[in-house]
Amino acid sequence: MRFTTSILPTLSLLLLQTTKAIDLDIDSFPSIKEAAAQVAKDLASEFWDPTSYSGVPNGLGQYAWWQHGAILGAYVDYWHLTGDDTYNSNVTVGWLKGVSPSLDLLPKEHAFDIGNDDQGFWSIMSMDAVERVFPETDEQKKMGAGFLEITQTVHNTQDARWDNTTCGGGLRWQIVTIKGGYFYKNTISNGLYFQQSARLAKYTGNTSYADAAEMSYKWMRESNLIQDDYWINDGLDVNECTKLTTKRWTYNYGTIMAGCAAMYNFTTGSKRAYWKQELDNVLNSTYATFIDAETGALKEIQCQESKTCDMDQRSFKAYLVRWMGYTAQVAPYTYDTIMMHLRKNAALAAATCIGEPRGTACGQKWNVGAQWDGYHGLGEQINAMEVIQNIIPYVRPNIGLIFNSNNGGTSRSNPGGKGNTKTMRNWRLILAAEYAKHALRNYEIKAADRFGGAILTLLTLGLLAGMVVFVVTEPEVEEKSEEKKSEERPQPRSVVE
Ligand SMILES: *[C@@H]1O[C@H](CO)[C@@H](O)[C@H](O)[C@H]1NC(C)=O
Ligand SMILES: *[C@@H]1O[C@H](CO)[C@@H](O)[C@H](O)[C@H]1NC(C)=O
Ligand SMILES: *[C@@H]1O[C@H](CO)[C@@H](O)[C@H](O)[C@H]1NC(C)=O
Ligand SMILES: *[C@@H]1O[C@H](CO)[C@@H](O)[C@H](O)[C@H]1NC(C)=O
Ligand SMILES: *[C@@H]1O[C@H](CO)[C@@H](O)[C@H](O)[C@H]1NC(C)=O
């Protein structure tokens, strides 16, 4: 992630709102699906280009690469929660752009700018894909780009960067040593490492990951990134370890919450009691900090009212609500309270989706009633999308389940994964043939496929002269097929088996 100056929205169109809006009945599955589909469509058509290295269409350089990982996570969940696979092939294309050829989510195009948090956002997306059993292609598997093995590889690379030499532990923000952020240990980098480790432990059952989660959490508590009163700070200065940046952001609370929830789920006995207590404290602190007492709306308190949120910060609420949805699944005792807040916020968010250019753009502020505040961007769309789709399990309790390797998960494990470091460091010297082995990123969708209607064909370009790699059928249009589709999605094996 990076520091950016805030870009003010165009306010001139504020008074020209059309009346299209998004009608959302939070008790109706078809209505929630329709609302999610509209918000997802607006996000995809304006702010997502999975075939580009940046993940966003040309001219939108203000968005950082990590947000592409965030978008992919949103569409993995979208598919899982709504059953609509419209965007699945683009998720795969975008994923392959990020993952290969270095096979560790450090693509050379972004190598200088990637911090542990950027890499972590992509790997937490792949963990979503693992736990939700998002389809993997044969080619993806053959080339070592399956979701679980990549998450494990990221874990290993971050493990190796864990730094006990300053401030008693922690991951630094930046990876490149000449950047200022190398001397900052921030909560999102460490919180994503913690969450990733905890979810790997829960999914694989491997206690090494749980040890890593425990170690990182302990450090965050001892370093006061997470204070005894559960105020969660943004980060600390490596040269002066007690110097904390005290800003509070929704996504930091969210990543700690989800990690505690996974650990609560994975552990037993007194350890489980410990994680329950930590989770309860983080939940209470989250509610007390970010929920507007008057309206029940989630607020990005640091910048929302002052209109100073930057392009990164405008999307943070999305990750808090995504991880609230995850927490409700793996720590079911939190479900009722979390769902109450999410359902309230889904309704509030949808009511703001009356903005330009098409009368369905969603606003940044959810505490203003049925008005659009003039903000229109990737952040506002992904925020609304996540909160709307994450209420689906409330009306369809068999949807949204999180799987483990022993009850339905299928992604291949490779705990020793190291990534393709040779390519990363010295990619120009690599023989074309070797590069080709890792050329998944050169897949592109052919525009002509739109004619076919039913079929999207993905072709490889560039060094791979190959032909059709995989074929994805588009969802059928009839309303009737939808229930059937959701039944076809992975179900947990029956407990009596
Ligand atoms: C997939 O991405 C391509 C390239 O940006 C785009 O043209 C296409 O419309 C996208 N498909 C969907 C369903 O959004
Ligand atoms: C860092 O310190 C922690 C806690 O003392 C320990 O568990 C871990 O193994 C250490 N890591 C390294 C790389 O020395
Ligand atoms: C468990 O995870 C550790 C750390 O990544 C790895 O070294 C070990 O091989 C894994 N064990 C199994 C059984 O997968
Ligand atoms: C969290 O808040 C609830 C409701 O106010 C309260 O009952 C509970 O004791 C709190 N939990 C912790 C760990 O403080
Ligand atoms: C652990 O998570 C699963 C979903 O993955 C859930 O069904 C189960 O109830 C959770 N266990 C506990 C103790 O909450």
Q: Which ligand is nearest to the CA of 263?
A: 5
Residue 478 lies in a domain: no
Comparing 468 with 45, the larger pLDDT belongs to 45
Handedness of CA 130, 132, 138, 140 (dihedral sign): negative
The CB of 212 under 6 Å from ligand 5? The reply is no
The CB of 70 under 6 Å from ligand 1? The reply is no
Residue 448 lies in a domain: no
CA of 164 from ligand 2 middle (Å) equals: 6
User: By residue range, what is the domain housing residue 183?
Assistant: 13-439
Residue 49 lies in a domain: yes
Measured from the Cα of 329, ligand 5's closest atom is 4
Residue 487's pLDDT is what? 43
The predicted model gives 122-141 an average pLDDT of 93
The CB of 166 under 6 Å from ligand 1? The reply is no
Measured from the Cα of 283, ligand 4's closest atom is 1
The CB of 87 under 6 Å from ligand 1? The reply is yes
Residue 497 lies in a domain: no
pLDDT averaged over the chain?
Answer: 85
Residue 464 lies in a domain: no
Residue 187's pLDDT is what? 98
Q: 472: which strand partners?
A: 456
Q: Which ligand is nearest to the CA of 443?
A: 1
CA of 283 from ligand 4 middle (Å) equals: 9
Nearest to 469 by CA among 485, 481, 457: 457
Residue 1 lies in a domain: no
Pocket test for ligand 1, best of 79, 90, 458 (most atoms within 8 A of CB): 90
Q: Which ligand is nearest to the CA of 216?
A: 2
What span, in angstroms and rounded, lies between the C-alpha atoms of 332 and 338?
10
CA of 90 from ligand 1 middle (Å) equals: 7
What's 137's domain CATH number? Answer: 1.50.10.20
Question: Kind and range of the H or E element at 127?
Answer: helix 116-131
Measured from the Cα of 131, ligand 5's closest atom is 5
Q: What are the tens digits of pLDDT across the range 218-253? A: 999 999 999 999 999 999 999 999 999 999 999 999
Comparing 179 with 147, the larger pLDDT belongs to 147
The count of residues in the chain is 497
Residue 450 lies in a domain: no
Pocket test for ligand 5, best of 268, 274, 326, 329 (most atoms within 8 A of CB): 329
Q: What are the tens digits of pLDDT across the range 428-479? A: 444 444 444 444 444 443 333 222 222 232 322 222 222 222 223 333 333 3
Nearest to 75 by CA among 156, 134, 163: 134
The predicted model gives 301-310 an average pLDDT of 97
Alpha carbon of 308 to those of 117, 185, 313, 458: distances in Å? 22, 23, 9, 41
Q: Which ligand is nearest to the CA of 215?
A: 2
Take atom 11 of ligand 5 and give the residue whose Cα is closest.
265
Residue 2's pLDDT is what? 55
CA of 147 from ligand 5 middle (Å) equals: 22
CA Rg value for the chain: 21
What span, in angstroms and rounded, lies between the C-alpha atoms of 363 and 345?
13
The predicted model gives 37-62 an average pLDDT of 92
Q: Which residues line ligand 2 (CB under 6 A)?
A: 162, 164, 169, 215
Residue 8 lies in a domain: no
Q: How many domains does the chain have?
A: 1
The CB of 458 under 6 Å from ligand 1? The reply is no
Measured from the Cα of 155, ligand 3's closest atom is 5
Measured from the Cα of 219, ligand 2's closest atom is 4
Residue 100's pLDDT is what? 67
Residue 137's pLDDT is what? 86
pTM: 0.87
